[in-house]
Each structure stands twice: as structure tokens, then as C-alpha cells.
Amino acid sequence: MSVWRKLLSFFGLRSDSLHLPALNSDTPLTFELELEDLDYIRYRRQILDWRDNFASQLLADAGKGFQEFKQQVEKEISDVGILRKVFAKPAAEVLKEDFDQLVRAPLAKCQADTAMALEKMFQGCSHGLAVAPIDPQLSILEDISFRAAKQDEVVSSLRRLVFDDGGMIDAYLKPAQVITQSLLVAYKQKQ
Amino acid sequence: MISQFLFEIPAKFAAEVNAGSLIRVGALLKNPSTGKIVAHLQETGAGQALLSKVAAGSPLGIAANMIEAGAAVKTSIDVGQIKKMVASLQTLQYATLGVSMVGLGVTVAGFAYMHKRFDALDVRFSELSNILQSGFNEQRQATMRARLSQVKGLAKAAGQAHTLSQPGLEYCRIAESMSEQAAHFEGELEFLIKAEGKMNLEVFWQLAQLLTLSNSVRIDCRMRSNEMKNAREIAESVAEDYQRLFDPLSVASFKDGDAVLLTKTLREITDAAMTKPYLIEHLRTQHANGAAYLSRIESETEEPLLMLKVA
């Protein structure tokens, strides 16, 4: 008896109990991944593309709109009469209408178009996109008066309102993030 | 065991992709009617050689523009090869061309290519030191420099491992070390993402490349030591990490750069990572030798991109 077999029998083992069946290397192994998960990858990408397109369009529209608004501010400053240069109105009062028309309105339209695109993909999901106007009375301008010396301050305050963290762009994007997450979670739960 | 890998050029699938009878999901093509995978997209040694000259360490937008324009950075670049790559990606309906190629540069980790890219990233990090100073204190910068040296060393060692009598052990060592490096870069990215305010796009992109390259080397090393199941598990885990890190980000998350381009790149990178386990699983179930497969891909000099056909 070989040393190996002696050792095995000492421990109560039989050498043939260690014999493993020969693996037939020509037989494919079982594929352990789910092909259905590829559908989730595609679906996920569709949702993310929808959200990414919304974010890109919002930034593009806000950029264009704010540029036009800035030009409008310059024009209004140059049109201010002598009396108004002395007794200046609050900037918020002078600029609210222009800001609503040139900045808020395009963003609201972008949001509405995006909601429609989402409805086409998934009926009933778009109502969560609605957003209340951020600072509708432009209180960010506080008591800044509408005069040439304050032009830069006015423009930079409104830029912060639109583009900074917690501003209008963020406000529009947050619900889109929430909808994205819930659609992805809902899909996975269905599986 | 499969002894021969069936490759096809992407152009052969053009008609079916255009007709919709094949659809692309990440880096694979599938038949939407049967749900079965038809082929996996592979970047070859020829493709990586091109990208290492054009894209390595370049700011994202510049790399993409150079590739899309078919521009030669140096005279040694084969403009025809670049155009071939671009045409292949158009065939497969990639949303962005040059950017996707940069993103695709992680499907196979040719070690010489990886070493070049780590090298270029090291240089780029030094160039970004002004920006880094605001978010990275001296200690963190020093740690980053040390990490960059380590990953370069590991990529070099991986390129030399095949000359050892037992390369499998060395690949395992490198894979484990790269796992630590990847964890560090992932931590840095998380820190950057969670910080207040918009992220500097260039700093983010350099860190993201470090993470994706490190993970690519990890997976590659496991495949080369024929640990296919482990390679697949790592690939699945990496895909989850990328979804967690990158999916919540959008163009509004970044400043100072082309955030639309970056966002699309991150999507392509994540999609490719999510389909990589399917490639590895296919090879595993067909008893393919990981090292032999990667060797075949790396040794390709004609076609920058190939499709591995699934019988």
C-alpha cells in the first residue's frame, strides 16, 4: 500500500472518495448571468438620457435667456431719464417683467416640453416635474436701486439666482432626479 | 475549450444595426427578438496604440475633437485608422464618437497602453496643481502623487509579468494592489462629488480615468491568470460602483468645461462596464483561456475595433 493510501486510511478516507469526475472541457458551462438584465441597462440609459437632455437644454436655454436679459438690462440702464437717475426705482420692480419673459419663460417651456417627452415614454409620470417659481418677486435684489452704478451687482445677483446651487436650474432638476430614481427602482422591483 | 476566437469587423453588422434587427447595449450587440447576445465589441492593440497617442491624459474636449477630426498629433498616427475607428463607432450608433473611444479605452487593458495613460495622467495632475490647491491640501496632493507612482509601477509590472515562470501569481498580486488603488481613487471621487458647489470638470475627469483604468487592470489581471469567475465578479462590482458614482451626475454638476461631452462619456463608460461581465461570462462558459484571448486582442495590428462573435 502506498504511503498516500496509508495516510488516507488513517484518517478514515478512501482514496477514491477524493476522485473528482473529469471535467469535459468541450462542454460549455452554465451561463450564470440573466440576459433580461440587458433590458434594464437599455431602459436605464433611456431614462438617464431623458434627464441628461433636460439638464443640457435647461442650461442652454438659461444661458441664452440670461445673455439676452443682460443686454436688455444694459439697454434699460441707458434709457433711464435724468429724473430716474436721481430717484431710481427698485431694480426688482424695473426688471421683473424682462426677467420673467427672457429667463423664466424659456425655462418653463423647457420643463413643459420635457414633461411631454416623459409622458410619451411613461404615461402619468410627468406631474412630478412641476416646480413652483423660485423668488418670483426677485427679492434677491433686496433694495438695490436701478442705476448704472448698480448694474453689475444686479446682474450677478440674478445670475446666482439662476445658475448657483439652490437656484432655478437646480430647482427644475431636482424633481427630474427624483423621477429618474423612482422609475429605475420601480423597474428593478418589477423583475 | 474554444481554441479559436471568431472575430468580425464592426462594419459587417452595420445593415442589421441600421435596420434595428440588432441593437447595441453597452459594448455588445443583441438580437431584440430573441434577447440573445450576438457579439461583443473589443478595442484591439491597434486601437489602443492610436488612442495612446491622441487621448492619453488630454483634456476631454481636446481628445474628442482630435479624434473626430481625424487629426494627426504626430506624423506616426495613421489617420486612416482613426477614421476607421470613427466609422465603426458610427456603425454601432454611439452617441458621441471621439468621446466614446476614450470611454471605450477600458475594455481591454493592454499594459503598455495603460502605463502610458497613467503616465499622462500624472503629468496632467501636475498641470492642474493650481486648481487642485483649492480642493486638495498639500497632504492629499502628496498622497495622490504617491498613488500615481504606485499605479504606474503596477502597470509596468503587469507588462513584464508574462516573462515570469509563474505569471499567474504576479497577476494576482497586481490585481490585489490595483484594487487598493482603485478604492483610493473612488474615495477621492466620492469626496469631490459630495463637496459643495460644482465640480471642476477637468479634475473630475482625471480622477475618473484613474479609477476606470485601475479597475480595467484589475479585471485584466484576473483574466490573464484565468480566474474568470473572479474577473466576472469584479466586473459586476465595478459596474455597480460606476452606476452609484456617475448616474446621479448631470451637466449641472460641473463647471469649466464641456459638461455635455463628459456626461455622455460617463454614460458610455458605465454601460460598457455593465456589459463587460457578459463578455467574461461568455469566455468562461466556453472554457476560453483568458490570457490567450487577451493576447489575441492585443496582437491585432490591422483593425482598431473588432466584434467577438457569440456562436
User: pLDDT of B13-23, one tens digit each?
Assistant: 888 988 999 99
The pLDDT confidence band at residue B311, using thresholds 50, 70 and 90, is low
Out of A51-55, B46-50, B77-81, B283-287, least confident range: B77-81
Region B113-125: mean pLDDT is: 77
Question: Among residues B150, B158, B155, which one has the least CA distance to residue B185?
Answer: B150
- Rounded distance between C-alpha atoms, residue B152 and residue B172, angstroms: 17
Least confident of B23-32, B124-133, B204-213: B124-133
Kindly report the nearest CA distance between residue A182 and chain B, in angstroms: 13
Q: Are the beta carbons of B226 and B291 closer than 8 angstroms? A: yes
Whether pLDDT at B270 is above 70: yes
Asked if the model's pLDDT at residue A37 lies above 90, the reply is: yes
Q: Give me the mean pLDDT over the A132-157 stretch.
A: 89
More confident residue, B136 or A170: A170
* Selected residue of A48, A163, A164, A183 to mutate for chain B interface (largest B Cβ count, 10 A): A48
Q: What is the pLDDT of residue A89?
A: 86
Q: What is the mean pLDDT of residues B46-57?
A: 68
Of residues B93, B78, B108, the one with CA closest to residue B5:
B108
Cell output for B134: 483649492
Q: How much is the pLDDT for B47?
A: 79
Best of B228, B250, B282, B310 to mutate (most A CBs within 10 Å, chain A)? B250
pLDDT for res B196: 84
pLDDT at res. B186: 96
ipTM: 0.87
pLDDT at residue B97, as a whole number: 55
| Residues of chain B with C-beta less than 8 angstroms from the C-beta of A56 | 251, 260, 263
How close B193 gets to chain A, by Cα (Å)? 13
**Average pLDDT for residues B55-63, to the nearest whole number?**
55
- Average pLDDT of span B78-84: 71
Strands (E), B154-214: 199-200
Region B229-252: mean pLDDT is 96
Choose the mutation target among B229, B246, B251, B285 for the interface with A, i.e. most A CBs under 10 Å.
Answer: B251
Q: How far is B147 from chain A (nearest CA, A)?
A: 32
Distance between A26 CA and the closest CA of chain B, angstroms? 5
Between A159 and B301, residue with greater pLDDT: A159
- How far CA B69 is from CA of A83, A168, B81, B95, in Å, comes to 58, 37, 12, 16
* Contact status of A22 with chain B (Cβ, < 8 Å): no
Residue type present at position B129: S
Mean pLDDT score of chain B, rounded to an integer? 82
Can you read off the three cell numbers belonging to residue B268? Answer: 458610455
pLDDT higher than 90, residue B176: yes
Is A143 in CB contact (< 8 Å) with chain B?
A: no
User: How many CB pairs below 8 A link A and B?
Assistant: 72
What is the mean predicted confidence (pLDDT) over A98-109? 95
Chain B residues whose beta carbon lies within 8 Å of the beta carbon of residue A168: none
pLDDT at B138 over 90: no
Give the pLDDT score at A7.
52
Give the model's pLDDT for residue A56.
Answer: 94
Mean pLDDT of B217-225: 92
Q: Residue A20: its pLDDT value, please?
A: 37
Task: Give the range among A73-82, B260-269, B276-285 with minimum mean pLDDT.
Answer: A73-82
Task: State yes or no: pLDDT of B272 exceeds 80.
Answer: yes
In whole angstroms, what is the distance from residue B51 CA to residue B104 CA?
A: 10
Residue B167: exposure state from Cβ atoms within 10 A (0-12, 13-18, ≥19): middle
pLDDT recorded at residue B274: 95
